[in-house]
Structure 1
Amino acid sequence: MQIAEFTPAHASAEELEQWREVLNAMTEADMPGEPRWHGDRMRDYLSITMPNERRLAYVARDDAGRIVGHANLLVYGGEFADTGIFEIFVEPGHRGSGVGRGLLRAVARRASREGLRAIGVEVIATTPAVGFYDRLGFGRAVVENRHLLRLADVDWETVTDSAGRLAAGYRLEYFTGGLPDHLMERYAATKVHLKAEPAYNVGTWRGSADARRLRDSLATLSARGLRPHLVVAIAEGKEAVVGLTELVVAAQRPTRGDQYDTVVAPEHRSYGLGMAMKARMLCELREAEPQLVDVQTWTSLDGDAMAHVDAELGFRNDVQWFEYEADVAELVRRLG
């Protein structure tokens, strides 16, 4: 087995296909009900990052030179420059042969050279990765419940009715791909309210709560092949943004919608805006993304302001996700 750095931007089409095959082999083995990865815009997905961020990749090759495992480490800039997020994927037939450990060693050593204090990884609770990271001394920083909504099971009459139930003085606006410039500042300011939610009390805040970062974030999503869908609640009169919900559909997994942030400004809660925005989002997706099979979202074990809304819309909890963290210096010593 050989482990080496990998540059997706310059990789061959065959190498990118092997990268995707590893992802799909792991999906088939560990979560067979999950959607498979498509090859559309895989290069963009792996190589494009936000300004001041870098994604560093490694591959493990067998004796024939074929990719049997890979890893990537996202290094943040600015105030988050001491932390990073990584992923490791190993073809099931090569588990137990040191591939995963070797890739993690490469990631940990690179994190150390980059001056990172800590690195984290997301793990599905029902997969063998849990035992792997437990044995290596990672700690669980966050536990979340993943919820799925199958669009074939949606009561569209009820959802359409919920999307139209707005208190007087409010309206909803829907955007796909991005936001008009006149809403950027107000939208970003509304996202600041997420900091007070229980689901965001653990870990490091990395939200796009300023207009420049928000603009960069939306542009980066589109450049990576992820289509953003946004529903915004407007308080008429002052034309203030008082609520928002975000969802992304990736070209690489086009049958799955990925729910991002949902927030309502505190002084505008109890008016049903959360339900109306999420219901409106589903109605728009029905037209804009007809290939969608389901939508996923997450809630914190410590409480989530939108949990009751998700339940009423038909989301059902299916599995827990763990966010593991490790001190980089300790991890490097542990791995040798």
Structure 2
Amino acid sequence: MVRIREWEPATASDAEIDAWLRVYNAAIAADVPGEPPWRRDRLRDYLSAAMPIERRAAWIAEDHGELIGYVGENLLGYDMAGTAVIELFTEPAHRRRGVGGELLVAAARHAAAHDRDLISTEIVEGTPTVDFYAAHGFRPTVVEESSLLSLSTVDWEQVAAKSNRIGAGYHIEHFPDGPPETLLASYADAKLILRHTPVADVEWHAGFEASRIRDSLRTLRARGLRPYVTVAIHTASGEVAGLTELVVPAHRPDRADQYDTIVVPEHRGYGLGLTMKARLLLALRTAEPQVETVQTWQPVGDEQMLRVNAELGFRPHRRWYDYEAPVSAVIESRRTA
């Protein structure tokens, strides 16, 4: 008999953490073959730590005591305070038994109880999750394309040359643990460029964003994600003209994930994006020699970033979708299933 119960990774037994890892790797191998398997290193921390203004919750499905499925939920804060983000997977041998649906509705009911209106998740094109979420009222909202760089194929002399190709009036700095406090306000100003839409009840300003970046860096470290940041500095003003970010997860140390790459509008056209990313790759090679691949994402249609990535050797890999549904619709979908 299948039982759904709330689960706390921070206090779970080692055997349960091992079972979670086994089922996760089985699901990944079935749905996205070729992805590197996860490891036990810092996995409990990764599943437990959250931003101070956010809250995590999780449920597992068990069949006669054996873990066969999981859903983790993050109740977001700041400008996304009405949204719950989930990650859900089930053991391939136990699919088509309604287990995923029961886990999903457990998360949706929890989201509703905490005044969340929307529930969101990330899926990969061509996987069984597409039909699963569509059947529960989810629709795509954002489409991104991931690109993958195999470090064994990189021409490092060319990358080194690109890392020095920078316009007059700028210089590059690299920070292996995130930007220093002296640059944080300017770094936050650059990050605010991603905030296009005013949000009710949230007043966006650099001080607020700087505090959020501090919290984000602390949370990354607490989850076992090692951050690396490279910035372009406008020499005359000392301001951040651009930035690029990358993390190496302890639980998957052979693949690095690239996060935001931003060039401030008035500093575009000087090749800063390419130079920063090249410098970051050189630093990564030295600091994390076990990394085999680097994964990055860009919105479909972002031709400029695709060209930058292609020049460094990245190749298109997969399409990723943000899927979203009203919480009420997800709960109703189970009543009518």
Which interval holds the TM-score relative to the shorter structure? over 0.9
Secondary structure class of the residue paired with 1:311: helix
Residue type matched to 1:88 in 2?
Answer: L
Alignment-mate amino acid for residue 39 of structure 1: R
Partner of 1:201: none
Asked whether the equivalents of residues 126 and 319 of structure 1 are also in contact (C-alpha less than 8 Å), the reply is no
CA distance in 1, matches of 2:205, 2:305: 18
Does the 8 A contact of 2:245 with 2:260 survive in 1? yes
Residue 27 (structure 1) shift: 1.4
Partner of 2:241: 242
Residue 279 of structure 1 aligns with an amino acid whose one-letter code is A
Equivalent residue for 2:319? 320
Tell me the distance in 1 between the aligned counterparts of 2:148 and 2:290.
16
Deviations 1:254-308 (A, max 9, x none): 0111010000111111111101000001111110110011111112124254221
Instruction: Return the offset for 1:322.
Output: 1.2
**2:330, 2:27 → 1: CA distance?**
25
What is the SS of the residue equivalent to 1:38? coil
Equivalent in the alignment of 1:203: none
Moved segments of 4+, more than 4 Å = 206-209
The CA distance in 2 between the partners of 1:125 and 1:331, in whole Å, is: 21
- Partner of residue 47, structure 2: 46
Equivalent runs, 1:26-41 vs 2, <5 Å? 26-41=27-42
Q: How does 1:1-336 map to 2 (within 5 A)?
A: 1-63=2-64, 65-195=65-195, 210-303=209-302, 305-336=304-335
Offset of residue 330 of structure 1: 1.6
Deviation of the 1:169 alpha carbon: 1.5
CA shift for structure 1 position 22: 1.0
State the TM-score, normalizing by the size of structure 1.
Answer: 0.94
- Equivalent-residue separation in structure 2 for 1:326 and 1:167 (angstroms): 45
Contact residue 137 and residue 329 of structure 2 kept, 8 A:
no
Greater Cα offset, 130-139 or 267-276: 130-139
Q: CA deviation at 1:43?
A: 1.0
- Partner amino acid for 2:150? R
1:202 maps to which residue?
none
The answer for unaligned runs of 5 or more in structure 1 is: 198-205
Question: TM-score, structure 2 length as denominator?
Answer: 0.94
Q: Distance in 1 between matches of 2:135 and 2:158?
A: 47
Summarize the Cα distance change of 1:102–1:21 in structure 2 as closer, same or farther, 3 Å threshold. Answer: same
The answer to which of 78-87 and 93-102 deviates more is 78-87
- 8 Å CA contact 1:58–1:106 kept in 2: the answer is yes
Amino acid at match of 1:87: E
State the SS of the aligned residue for 1:184.
helix
Shift of 1:135: 1.9
Q: Aligned pair count?
A: 327
Separation of aligned partners in 2, 1:195 and 1:30: 33
Task: Work out whether residues 229 and 247 of structure 1, in 8 Å CA contact, stay in contact via their aligned partners in 2.
Answer: yes
Aligned residue identity for 2:175? F
Which amino acid in the other structure matches residue 128 of structure 2?
P
1:8–1:43 Cα contact (<8 Å) kept: yes
CA drift at 1:76? 1.4
Q: 2:253 aligns to what SS in structure 1?
A: strand
* Cα distance in 2 for residues equivalent to 1:260 and 1:270: 21
Question: What is the root-mean-square deviation in Å for CA atoms of aligned residues?
Answer: 1.7
Separation (CA, whole Å) in 1 of partners of 2:145 and 2:328:
30
Give the corresponding residue for 2:201. Answer: none
Cα deviations by residue, 1:195-246 (Å, 9 ceiling, x for unpaired)? 459xxxxxxxx99971110111011101110000000111112211111000
Query: Per-residue deviation at 1:2?
Result: 0.3
Q: Distance in 2 between matches of 1:80 and 1:130?
A: 24
Residues 161, 196 of structure 1: alpha-carbon distance in 2 compared, 3 angstrom cutoff: farther
In 2, Cα distance between the equivalents of 1:334 and 1:47? 29
Q: Distance in 1 between matches of 2:175 and 2:53?
A: 27
Which one is further off, 299-308 or 242-251? Answer: 299-308
Shift of 1:80: 2.2
1:178 to partner: Cα distance: 2.4
C-alpha spacing 1:185/1:193, structure 2 compared with 1 (3 Å): same
Question: In 1, Cα distance between the equivalents of 2:51 and 2:143?
Answer: 26
Q: 1:4–1:119: structure 2 CA closer, same or farther, 3 Å change rule? A: same
Shift of 1:107: 0.9
Distance in structure 2 (CA, Å) of the matches to 1:207 and 1:289: 35
- Aligned identity (percent) is 48
Q: Which amino acid aligns with 1:320?
A: R
Counterpart-to-counterpart distance in 2, 1:89 and 1:117: 22
Kindly indicate whether the alpha-carbon contact (under 8 Å) linking 1:191 and 1:207 is maintained by their aligned counterparts in 2. Answer: no
